[in-house]
Amino acid sequence: MPRPIHATVHTDALHHNLNRARAAAPDARVWAVVKADAYGHGIARAFEGLRGADGFALLDLAEAQVLRDLGWRGPILLLEGVFEQRDLELCSRLDLWHAVHCEQQIDMLSQHKTNVPQRVFLKMNSGMNRLGFAPHSYRSAWTRLNALPQVDEISHMAHFSDADGPKGIAQQMAVFQQHTQDLPGERSLSNSAAILRHAQGAEVRADWVRAGISLYGSAPDHPEHDAAHWGLLPAMTLASRLIATQTLAAGDSVGYGSSFVAPGPMRVGVVACGYADGYPRLCPTGTPILVDGVRTRTLGRVSMDMLCVDLTPLQQAGIPAGFGSEVTLWGRASKGAVLSIDEVAHAAGTLGYELMCALAARVTTRVG
């Protein structure tokens, strides 16, 4: 028998979460952002749940190929654009739209031999200072692109640095508006946080929104709001089983470094899941976890292949947890209980994004 750990990607949850993005931005078309192999869910596995999107946005040309192989004929956008000249040939072959964020990409386009002009998304650096043309050079980049026979329609895009926090989007919006308002073309600005928190603002006039993390059921602004607040469902469950139980006396410790010491007699379950499966080693004692659908906590350090849980709440609940009991590291338990990946991430001092992307290759993943 294989190790009992496995992940499940929930088609119904992806579908539901996509509809949440649509409801929040009813006038926009929705890019489903599926970079990083659909945030660790697997593009091929996530595709069924997300095929109602208007397009797919990603970074890697190989991932774009996967989508075409799956039969997707609609728009695909390369969010970082091309990396070298010959990528443009693949863009032509696979009919990919691509971001243009720097002069070098315009140079490459000007040398691309094609009879079919390409659709591009010109990117403005509106304050994030990662990719994009500075506001004062945006117009000249647009003019240069617009003169190229290789270029078809030019859309405008920018990316918010603070849509999830108190600083918000107003300043970046103003910069973007000021430098694009008299240019023709479609616009794309919002990530999940902007879609959910700022979509009602009339100033975010957007033809396309770019939903990523919310599609996967994680709140973009956790812990200010949780996934339930935004009506999102977890798209990934990581589940395993107890493979041993131990009975501790007062003073007994658990795991490497003896970091947890039992204050009194207690039962402990040993879970077949560790950091080599993608569960964060940084999760301290007290990280929430479900055993047989009952919420309890981890104990001691997470090791490579195992972690330990407190079975006390199960006894109180009258559930005789023992060998083989179902453990939900995050996602849905079979009895309907839910543990958000955001809570586990928070305990580890990180975000749901990082956990879902770090699911290890050794974890068998299915769709269900």
Catalytic residue ranges: 35, 256
Residue from 213, 233, 291, 321 binding ligand PLP (CB under 6 A): 213
Which 3-state string (H, E, C) describes the chain?
CCCCCEEEECHHHHHHHHHHHHHHCCCCEEEEECHHHHHCCCHHHHHHHHCCCCEEEECCHHHHHHHHHCCCCCCEEECCCCCCCCHHHHHHHHCCEEEECCHHHHHHHHCCCCCCCEEEEEEECCCCCCCCECHHHHHHHHHHHHCCCCEEEEEEECCCCCCCCCCCCHHHHHHHHHHHCCCCCCEECCCHHHHHHHCCCCCCCCCEEEECHHHHCCCCCCCCCCCCCCCCCCCEEEEEEEEEEEEECCCCEECHHHCEECCCCEEEEEECCCHHHCCCCCCCCCCEEEECCEEEEEECCCCCCCEEEECHHHHHCCCCCCCCCEEEEEEECCCCCEECHHHHHHHCCCCHHHHHHCCCCCCEEEEC
Residue from 10, 101, 210, 301 binding ligand PLP (CB under 6 A): 210
Is 98 a binding residue for ligand PLP by CB under 6 A? The answer is no
Q: Kindly write out the interface string for residues 172-191 of this chain, putting x where it contacts ligand PLP by CB under 6 A and - elsewhere.
A: -------------------x
What part of residues 138-167 is at the interface with ligand PLP (CB under 6 A)? 159
Is 299 a binding residue for ligand PLP by CB under 6 A? The answer is no
- Of all residues in this chain, which one has the CB nearest to ligand PLP in the complex? 212
Is 211 a binding residue for ligand PLP by CB under 6 A? The answer is yes
To ligand PLP, the closest distance from the beta carbon of 216 in angstroms equals 8
To ligand PLP, the closest distance from the beta carbon of 147 in angstroms equals 26
To ligand PLP, the closest distance from the beta carbon of 243 in angstroms equals 35
To ligand PLP, the closest distance from the beta carbon of 158 in angstroms equals 9
Is 125 a binding residue for ligand PLP by CB under 6 A? The answer is no
Is 192 a binding residue for ligand PLP by CB under 6 A? The answer is yes
- Give contact residues for ligand PLP (rule: CB under 6 A): 33, 35, 79, 159, 191-193, 210-213, 220
